[in-house]
Amino acid sequence: MLIGLYTLLIVGLVIVDQWIKHAIVASLALGATHSVIPNVLSLTYLRNDGAAWSMLAGQQWFFYIISIAALAVLIWFFVRFRHNWHYEVGIAL
């Protein structure tokens, strides 16, 4: 039962993340900033085709492989520690 709740949490967070990204792309010009909470939180539309500091820019195949490997490890941990809710919440988030 709890695995279903955590799966729902994961799917919900991914949907919210993708919705926010779509809203930013649809409403802001590249490089523009929108203040959500003045002096606390602002959103800026930037593009980065690589990792940190644009390392490996244009090497998307590398990021696909790393993402699939990381997802496999997370699923393994999720199944392995399914009886410990502390681990389940941490992995789900």
Q: Is the pLDDT of residue 58 over 80?
A: no
Query: Is the same domain home to 38 and 55?
Result: no
Q: What is the pLDDT of residues 77-93, one digit of tens each?
A: 878 877 777 777 777 77
Query: Is the same domain home to 32 and 55?
Result: no
What is the pLDDT at residue 64? 87
What is the pLDDT at residue 75? 83
Range of the structural domain that residue 36 is part of:
1-47
Query: Is the same domain home to 42 and 53?
Result: no
Q: What is the pTM of this model?
A: 0.58
Which residue spans within the chain are E strands per DSSP? 33-37, 41-44
What is the pLDDT at residue 86? 76
Query: Is the same domain home to 17 and 1?
Result: yes
Q: Is the pLDDT of residue 25 over 60?
A: yes
Query: Is the same domain home to 40 and 69?
Result: no
